[in-house]
Copies of this chain bind each other. A is one copy, B any other.
Amino acid sequence: MPPPRSPLAPERFPEMPEVAGVRLGVAAAGLRYRGRSDLLLVELAPGTTVAGLLTRSSVPGHPVAWCRALLPRGQARALVVNAGNANVMVGAAGDAAVRAEAEAVAALLHTGPEDVFVASTGVIGEPLPVDKITAALPGLHDKLGSANWRAAAEAICTTDTFAKGACARARVGATEVTVAGIAKGSGMIQPDMATMLAFLFTDAALPAALLQPLLVAACDRSFHAITVDSDTSTSDTLLLFATGRARHPAPSGREDPVLAGFRAALEEVARELAQQVVRDGEGAKKLIAVTVRGAVDDASARRIGLAIANSPLVKTAIAGEDANWGRVAMAIGKAGEPVELTRLAISFGGHAVARDGARVPDLDETPVAAHLKGCEIEVEVEVGGGSGAATVWTCDLTEGYISINASYRS
């Protein structure tokens, strides 16, 4: 029986438009699950550029190693993704399986395997039944379509309780461009790299050398600013494909003002997907936004925010709807970042509980308690007089996380 849909899930999968130059299809290859699709193929128009961020794990999956080798070329013609088996730590057979997938796709598209990006998610350490994938690919290729984003997002889910998608539009000069993305992930989520699998697509015409810094910048305030359980996946993969079908003038560089709208749209899609991952955090009942201000710089603020967001004691307190600001103070301290103790301030939902390094005199916890009963919790912290600020997102830690993870073999 699938787990119930997260109480923090969006009401519905968004209406998502076509992206010119992108064709999608899914199939049920029967890798692990029964009665659902588990294989996604994306065909990309000739000339598509690509940027990506991959897990920093020192035990990366075999598909991650493949993508890492391909990314410097900056071009792509296809993406193939399976759910149910992560293809991690299976030795030489793992690398051979990735190559077999890429070659099978390349043959269908009359291109080279070096143009085919591969991602896998699911159980670690079991050989990938790659024959099932290569057997399913020809039929899948025959029915590629333009805008079945929801089916694509569903095909890559594992413990996810809802499919994740987001899109935005922007103008580059006078030309409208689209950014659309899908993601999966709900556990083994730590922000210090792209988180689990996320694939973004745009019809903008941008060289890979420009695409990569745009993606990195968008990540800082999205995929790098979320955490569910501090665990970093072996398979984290974030790829951004630009088909170049939109006819707009070529930007002069990443700071060209003509890109302002695109940058905002890219960040919006990335942040929306990242937040959906947190909303699907295993066992989550509350979405928590932690905002840190007054740090020595933005990076320091983010490290403090993540220390708070990763603290099991903070996350259990919020699960218990307890305005336990002492644990927030503890977590600030454990980050090891510069803090001006006499300026330390902590609020929940805009209601100050500590100020100038001590509890607010005659604190009335009533409005704080009311805020904590909600589903979207705000923790705001001031750590000094600096200009560094950051917001990170996480979820509460509940008995549901334990029961999911004490039984599921991922």
A residues neighboring B (CB under 8 Å): 55-60, 86, 88-91, 93-94, 123-126, 187-188, 190, 229-234, 310-313, 316-317, 319-320, 322, 324-327, 329-339, 341-342, 344, 354, 356-359, 397-399, 401-403, 405-407, 409-410
Q: A91-B356, A125-B358, A316-B401 are in contact. List 6 more A-B contacts (CB 8 A).
A: A57-B334, A59-B339, A89-B359, A94-B358, A316-B406, A402-B402
Whether B313 lies near A229 (C-beta < 8 A) is yes
> Chain B residue with minimal CB distance to A229?
B312
Whether A125 contacts B58 in the complex (CB less than 8 A), given A231-B334, A405-B320, comes out as no
Contacts of A322 in B (CB 8 A): 406-407, 409
CA distance A58 to B341 in the complex (A): 8
Task: Describe A's contact surface by its main secondary structure.
Answer: loop
Whether B401 lies near A312 (C-beta < 8 A) is yes
Contacts of A312 in B (CB 8 A): 229-231, 312, 401, 405
CA distance A123 to B337 in the complex (A): 23
| Nearest Cβ on chain B to A287's Cβ, whole angstroms | 17
CA distance A319 to B338 in the complex (A): 37
Whether B405 lies near A311 (C-beta < 8 A) is no
Whether B125 lies near A359 (C-beta < 8 A) is yes
Whether A89 contacts B229 in the complex (CB less than 8 A), given A313-B410, A320-B406, A359-B125, comes out as no
Contacts of A124 in B (CB 8 A): 325-327, 329-330
